[in-house]
Amino acid sequence: MANILVTGGAGYIGSHTCLELLHAGHDVVVFDNLSNSSEESLRRVEKLANKSSVFVQGDIRHQAELDQVFQAHQIDAVIHFAGLKAVGESQKNPLIYFDNNIAGSVQLIKSMEKAGVFNLVFSSSATVYGESNPSPYQEDMPLSLPNNNYGYTKLIIEQILEKMALADSRWSIALLRYFNPVGAHKSGQIGEDPQGIPNNLMPYVTQVAVGRRESLSIFGNDYPTKDGTCERDFIHVVDLAQAHVLAVANRLNNKGCRAWNIGTGSPISVLKIKETFERVNGIQIPTEFTKRRVGDLSAFYADASRAKAELGWQPQYTLEDMLADSWNWQKQNPNGFN
């Protein structure tokens, strides 16, 4: 069993991953500045796991804070979730994204090197495939510049990590390219809790369902897809969390830098999400079609065969599970963790 440092571990994907790590018998140290999360998520994770973890409030951009964590704890591997993720905000304030995501990651790499910790799992995104690769995306396709600054930070961090592994054979790095994470733990105790107006589809749908928003706007119904709305590869957050447990185990036994897609491989349209949510949960979602959102790709989905072959990872949850679990979380926590 290993001692895992989880940056950004209080957030949506991080909290679910901490729970799966604790269930798998690992020890967990969470490092988070709580800029987009609350410590309550970790209290609930500990309760669900019936096991405690360590929480350190700190910022990945601050070297002394990171160094202190590595001095205080014997860390075997790091899972690096910490970062900002709002595409629109990254267009308005690129420097904040370059600083938090890129400079913060470089700082983490420096502290890891200093501490002699070389196993790292990084939260990347399907956005690194850029705008012109055909779906299903495969890991060895040429990457290209995403059309937004958030995606750009993911591509740059991936490239920095690849160069680190090339230059120094002690590194063992997993690049997990997430598709569209949705859903929540079955208990409904932890889930996605965006601040302000949700940018992403699923929390918007659940906030309409719970009465916090009036209606869902579907951005565009004139795309070249079956029903005219965009298609995405939605993946249950607990399946995604499991992929991290497997990736850590893989990295503790291998060297180099390797990328894995984490998606189901099935494209699902935005309209189908709305309709399936209504059917599974018995709630109507008032909806209007509005104009396309700038920067959205029509459709993309994963070829996840590499994760299956090399990590032994396969999604367990259905689309119905994703939508039932998202709603179960939101209805038990209408105002999130507040």
User: Which residues form the catalytic set?
Assistant: 150
Residue closest to 46 by CA, chosen among 58, 54, 36, 35 = 54
Euclidean distance between CA atoms 250 and 254, whole angstroms: 6
* CB of 303 vs ligand UFG, minimal distance in Å: 16
**Cβ atoms within 10 Å of 291's Cβ, excluding its own:** 10
> CB burial class (10 A; 0-12, 13-18, 19+) of residue 188?
middle
Q: Is 232 in the site for ligand UFG (CB under 6 A)?
A: yes
Cα(141)–Cα(124) distance, rounded to whole angstroms?
A: 15
The stretch near ligand NAD (CB under 6 A) out of 83-91, 213-221, 266-274, 292-300 is: 83-91
Kind and range of the H or E run holding 242: helix 237-252
CA-CA-CA-CA dihedral for 150, 155, 160, 163, to nearest 10: 180
Instruction: Compute the residue count for the chain.
Output: 338
Min separation Cβ 87 and ligand UFG, Å: 6
Tell whether residue 186 is a contact of ligand UFG (CB under 6 A). no
**Which tokens in the block code for residue 133?**
């690769």
Q: Which residue is nearest to ligand NAD (CB)?
A: 11
Closest by Cα among 333, 244, 314 to 23: 244
Residue 200 in the binding site for ligand UFG (CB under 6 A): yes
Element holding 235 (H helix, E strand): strand 234-236
Q: Which does 201 bind (CB under 5 to 8 A by kind): ligand NAD, ligand UFG, none?
A: ligand UFG
Residue 101 makes contact with ligand UFG by CB under 6 A: no
Q: Which does 206 bind (CB under 5 to 8 A by kind): ligand NAD, ligand UFG, none?
A: none
C-alpha 325/C-alpha 247 separation (Å) is 24
Q: Which of ligand NAD, ligand UFG, none does residue 151 bind (CB under 5 to 8 Å by kind)?
A: ligand UFG
Min dist. Cβ of residue 101 to ligand NAD (A): 7
Size of the site for ligand UFG (CB under 6 A): 19
Q: Give the contact letters, 67-96, x = binds to ligand UFG (CB under 6 A), - = no.
A: ------------------x-----------
Block residue for tokens 């589809």? 201
Q: Does 129 interact with ligand NAD (rule: CB under 6 A)?
A: no
**Residue matched to tokens 């906030």:** 207
Q: Which residues bind ligand NAD (CB under 6 A)?
A: 7-8, 10-14, 32-37, 59-61, 81-85, 100, 104, 123, 125, 178, 180-181
Q: Which residues bind ligand UFG (CB under 6 A)?
A: 85, 125-127, 150-151, 180, 199-201, 204, 217-219, 230, 232, 270, 293, 296
